[in-house]
C-alpha cells in the first residue's frame, strides 16, 4: 500500500487541491484509493461528498480529524492520500511523516508562503535521510509571467529547494472542486497544459 501525505504548515497554499487531484489520479488508474483529511475544516471530505457516483470511486474514513492520522485503512486499499491541517505539529506531524511513502509540499509564490515553507523544508531536511528522499515541493497557483514567480525561482535556487513542477493559476481547479471532480476525470485533450504540468508529479508518485 502506498501512502501520500500532502503537508505544509502554511494555510491556503493548495493542499486540498493537490490531495483531491492526486486521489483522482490514482482512482482513474483503477487503484483502491482512500482520501483522509486531518484538517478540522474537512475540505477534502466535503469535496468527496459532492463526487458523482459515476466517477471512479474514492473512499474516506468516517473518523474525526485526529484519528485519521493513526487509522488503518481497509484491507483492500492500495493507495492512501492524506490532506493535512496547517497547524499539524508534534506527534501528529511525526506520525504523518512516518507513515508517508511520499510527502508533497505545496508552495505559493509569495513572501509569507515562501518563508513558512522554507522553515518546514529545513525541518524535513533535519529528519532521517530516508525521510528527506520522499519529499517533493510543488509550486501552486503560478503565473510564469509574473515577478512573483521569478522571485520564487530565485529563492528556491538560493535555498537549494528543488521544485518538481508547477501548477498554473487557473479557475479550472475551483470548478473541479465545486463539482467533486478532478483534472483526471476529464480527457487530457481538454486541458493539455494542465496535464503536462502534472506529468512530473504523477511520474514521481508512480515510482
152 CB-side CA count, 13 A: 27
Percent of the chain whose predicted confidence (pLDDT) is above 70: 98
Listed range (10-24, 123-137, 167-181, 185-199) with the worst mean pLDDT = 123-137
pTM: 0.93
Compute the average pLDDT of residues 135-144: 90
pLDDT tens digits, one per residue of 36-74: 998 888 889 889 999 999 999 999 988 877 788 888 898
Q: How far is CA 142 from CA 116, 127, 166, in A?
A: 18, 29, 7
Angle (nearest 5°) at CA 11 between 69 and 158:
105
pLDDT tens digits, one per residue of 190-206: 999 999 999 999 999 99
Identify the structural domains of the chain with CATH numbers, from first to last.
Answer: 2-206 (3.40.50.300)
Cell matching residue 35? 482520501
DSSP per residue over 54-84, as a string? TSPPEEE--S-HHHHTTPPPPTT--EEEEE-
What integer pLDDT is reported at residue 130 of this predicted model? 65
Amino acid at each position: 500500500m502506498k501512502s501520500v501525505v500532502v503537508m505544509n504548515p502554511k494555510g491556503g497554499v493548495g493542499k486540498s487541491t493537490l490531495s483531491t487531484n492526486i486521489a483522482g489520479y490514482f482512482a482513474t488508474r483503477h487503484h483502491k484509493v482512500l482520501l483522509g483529511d486531518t484538517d478540522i475544516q474537512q475540505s477534502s471530505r466535503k469535496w468527496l461528498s459532492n463526487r458523482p457516483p459515476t466517477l471512479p470511486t474514492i473512499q474516506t474514513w468516517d473518523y474525526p480529524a485526529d484519528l485519521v492520522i493513526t487509522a488503518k485503512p481497509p484491507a483492500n486499499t492500495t493507495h492512501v492520500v492524506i490532506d493535512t491541517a496547517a497547524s499539524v505539529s508534534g506527534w501528529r506531524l511525526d506520525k504523518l511523516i512516518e507513515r508517508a511513502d511520499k510527502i508533497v509540499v505545496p508552495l505559493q509564490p509569495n513572501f509569507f508562503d515562501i518563508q513558512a515553507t522554507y522553515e518546514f523544508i529545513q525541518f524535513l531536511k533535519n529528519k532521517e535521510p530516508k525521510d528527506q528522499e520522499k519529499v517533493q515541493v510543488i509550486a501552486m497557483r503560478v503565473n510564469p509571467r509574473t515577478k512573483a514567480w521569478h522571485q520564487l525561482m530565485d529563492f528556491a535556487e538560493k535555498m537549494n529547494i528543488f521544485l518538481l513542477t508547477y501548477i498554473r493559476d487557473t479557475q479550472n481547479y475551483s470548478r473541479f472542486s465545486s463539482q467533486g471532480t478532478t483534472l483526471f476525470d476529464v480527457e487530457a485533450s481538454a486541458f493539455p497544459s494542465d496535464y503536462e504540468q502534472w506529468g512530473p508529479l504523477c511520474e514521481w508518485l508512480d515510482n
